[in-house]
A and B are shown apart, each in its own frame.
Chain A
Amino acid sequence: MTAPFSDELLSAYLDGELNAEEQAYVEVQLRERVELRRLCDELRALRATLRAMPVSRPPENFAERVMRQAERQMLTGSPTTTDLTSGDSEPAAGLSVSRFLASRRWRIGLGVVAGLAACALAMVFLMPPFLSTTERVASAPEPTMGDAETTAELAQDRGDVAKVAKLSELNEKYVMRGRNQAFGAAGAAGAPPKTDPTGEIEMLPSAAEESRPAAPVVADESTAVGTSVERHPKREQEGVVGGRRDESSSGEPAMSSGSGFGSAAPPSIRRGGIRGMGGGGSIRPVGPGMSGGFGGGMGGMGGGAGGVPRSLEPKSGQLTDMPAYAPAATPPADMAVDVKTKSVEGLEPSEIAATDAMSKTLPSDAQAEMAWLGTRLTAESIEQCTAQLDQSHFLLVRVSGPEAVDLIAGVPHSTMGKTLAADALKLFAETGVAVKEEGKLRNAAEMPEQKPGGGGRAVGQATQENPVTPPQVLIVEGSADRIRDSLAQLAARPEISVELASIIDSQTDRRLRILRFEDDLPQERVADNYGEGQSKNSEDGISVPREHSGRPMQADGRVREAKDDSVAKAPAQVAGKPADKADPARDPSREKLKGTAQDAVALPAPPAQPQDPAAVSKSAPAIPAAPAVPSVDKAPSAGTAAMVESANRPNGASVPSEVAKERAVIYILYRLLPEPAVPGPAGESGDR
């Protein structure tokens, strides 16, 4: 080996991960270098110490708890927190009971249950039972563990035949329904059903509701669905329940219910253009497989349908009135926001964008405002996001996760004119992250000044060992429905994280605010850049992005192929930046962004699936249609024509290179295309 020795080899040597040549090389180095031997000894001691750590074991009934939780979630879509607590105050619990039970779906369901219970009671009292109560309980077809326990408890503790009978009846209904949903008739035949027979997921009213800022919740993900909700002092919200069924699903199950572990609604839509992202609920699972159930999660409805919702208390068997939903208080007057204008009054831009979303240094209102940012996509947030889009407002979605790169693998590369690509780049450029020189985007490493905190531009010196790879940017245009479906399909991917990054308002000239998460920033680069282990740009308080996958963008929006070193690296690096206070030089654009549907170039319809399966990452499923919005309409003004601008790779490109296979972070910029003009005297196209 002639390459310079890297200490990394030492770790790999200790782990036995070197080939013979490398191993011999390391051994030579060890013989010759004392400091290397010392390091080797230290690493050995460290390994031994780590491996000597005691083994922690889960509680004894862990498996049973998991199964109960899973079955409850599957059958009811309800967030059950009892199994999650070990005396902890589960944050979601504060939301769970009343809000969940206040959900529309639960009200409807409980109305049905109440009716059934009444019938059951009538049967119990008017007709001699065929079986004794306990026998009926025992013969109930495989109630869930929890339900069986509940029923058994009642039978044992109360001896109340009527109530036990009623409960067992209800349990049977729930169990059978859940089983039917989950397994269907085909379940009996040993095959999962194709679809959930109960079908629709209700989209809870969102715009009509008063929702308040609430703790963001991770929902909709099998990977991170509805994790415990962080309590926020300002939030009391009732999240959203239910979601929208992905009607365009090609069989891919929509996201699992986010209900299991809590939900919350991000701040109210009334609080601003970048708010009002409903949170909480989720898209109920449909499609093949296990998921079934009622879907939806918990969450308050806020002013929902008529009728007093009632809850079934498992212990007492009573149907009790649920606490009335208390609509959130209106936000302070100084925070009143017009959704259309998307402006947020009363907040200093620097306050908003100075730090990342969860910074405690932000005023609580600003924290609330930013709370939804970074939240996982949910059905309601999708709906609200889409509702806020218009010709001057774009939605930026951050997609991350091991398989995020698959989103762009196989996405057809467009021949879109420069306009839209330039728009997107310009948006990012406003933050100072992507800099245009001589019409070309330059990598941060190529910029003359590389200093930490340099307007967010400097991500760090790109070196061979430490390449700075930019986030990938997709631009998606389409109708509201198309965007909604795209977002829903994104959210349906359990392996990836899809979060709302920002709503970009070009008219109010708000800077693009892209939130970073601390764990986005590679510590080694932090140390390199700032030497303090900080995760933020010390000047403007903006975190810089972590290493991202993907290829740098060329000036025309194409992505340079991995092997093509002839094109200047031109990543669009995205970082938040404090809104420019009074520096026009740094806030160059007050003009409306260019690029409209009329500028768009129609593309041939991209394939819904990648042409070449081998071109798709090994872990990629059928490429979600999320960014691939087909259009065969060559008329530039076609309102429904949708294009996908892949900033990354041509259609059917090969699997991303090794660099690109790193954990990807992709930004998808959604722009709403105007509806096509309706011919006729009253036809008009316009903003939504």
Chain B
Amino acid sequence: MNGDAQLIDDTLAGNRAAFGELVRRYEGRLFNTLVHMVGSREEAEDVSQEAFVQAFLKLDTFRGRSAFYTWLYRIAFNVSVSRKRRRRAEVSMDLHRERTGEEPEEAGEGPGERILREEQVQQVRGAIGDLHDEHRAIVVLREIEGCDYETIAEILDVPVGTVRSRLHRARLQLRDQLKELLQENVTE
């Protein structure tokens, strides 16, 4: 985006507010993606914050050959992987740490429906969390971010063929784990 380039230039010129604008521009997207990647809001906050900070500190190394968000996401991805390694003993995908009430309510949704939906959300997140890191990244980028294969390949620096094969495998795994849920959705 041309706007990104200008903000980057302004930041490098000393205008901190310009980077703040970059943060506001991408915080939602990155955060949402990371929630699915790492499985918890808290972790997503930490990872996204750290990613932005590192992007800020290393902005001069951004070469502009990819989109800023691509670069940012790659940083965030590495951060999340590294943090996960350090917390290997912990349950990084402990979805029960998710606070309730954080998800927006749907209009006209009764309490029972809301609870059921939350359970389904947890179930799906759990299944996503069980994926291998890079499979999860591809699924999230594809299904949550809506990135095409080329963009995913660029972000993860893998060939498009790899994106295709991993995405398919990940989908098969998710399908197996969410069979019942999917059947409900199909019949609805």
A interface residues, Cβ below 8 angstroms from B: 7-8, 10-12, 15, 17, 41-43, 45-51, 53-59, 62-67, 69-71, 73-74, 83-84, 86, 88, 179, 182-183, 187-188, 190-192, 215-218, 221-225, 227-230, 252-253, 256-257, 260-261, 285, 287-291, 358, 360, 374, 376, 401-403, 465, 494-495, 497, 517-519, 522-524, 618-619, 621, 658-659, 661-663
Contacts and interface: CB of A to CB of B under 8 A. Distances in A.
A289 B46 contact: no
Contacts, number: 274
Interface string B89-118: 100000000000011100000000000000
Given A70-B52, A74-B56, A519-B132, A621 B63 contact: yes
B89 A360 contact: yes
A216 B112 CA distance: 45
Interface of B: 11-14, 16, 19-20, 23-24, 27-28, 31-32, 35-36, 41-42, 44-46, 48-61, 63, 65-66, 74-75, 78-79, 81-89, 102-104, 120-121, 124-125, 128, 131-135, 139, 142-144, 148-149, 156-159, 161-162, 164-165, 167-169, 171-175, 178, 181-183, 185-186
A86 B98 CA distance: 13
Given A43-B175, A67-B19, A663-B157, A7 B58 contact: no
A284 B114 CA distance: 49
Contacts of A83: 49
B168 A11 contact: yes
Contacts of A658: 159, 161
Contact of A495 (B60, B74, B178): B74
Given A256-B58, A290-B60, A62 B31 contact: yes
Nearest to B132: A523
Closest 7 CB pairs of A and B: A289-B60, A402-B157, A222-B58, A222-B54, A223-B78, A224-B82, A50-B143
Given A62-B49, A227-B79, A8 B174 contact: no
A49 B178 contact: yes
B23 A62 contact: yes
A69 B49 contact: yes
22 contacts: A41-B186, A48-B185, A49-B124, A56-B44, A63-B20, A70-B19, A71-B16, A83-B49, A182-B14, A188-B14, A223-B78, A224-B79, A228-B83, A228-B86, A260-B53, A261-B50, A358-B88, A376-B82, A495-B75, A523-B132, A523-B173, A618-B65
A230 B86 contact: yes
Given A45-B186, A224-B82, A192 B13 contact: yes
Contacts of A291: 57-58, 60
Contact of B165 (A8, A50, A71, A88): A8
A663 B46 contact: no
A215 B83 CA distance: 12
B124 A253 contact: no
A223 B74 contact: yes
B102 to A, nearest CB: 7
Contact of A58 (B11, B28, B36): B28
A46 B61 contact: no
A12 B165 CA distance: 9
Contacts of A67: 16, 19-20, 23, 56
Nearest to A80: B53
Given A69-B53, A192-B13, A288-B60, A58 B31 contact: yes
Contacts of B131: 523
Contacts of A58: 27-28, 31, 44-45, 48
B86 A290 contact: no
Given A256-B54, A288-B60, A53 B124 contact: yes
Nearest to B167: A11
Contact of B61 (A64, A222, A224): A222
A634 to B, nearest CB: 37
A84 B49 contact: yes
Contacts of B41: 56
Given A15-B149, A71-B16, A497-B82, A54 B103 contact: yes
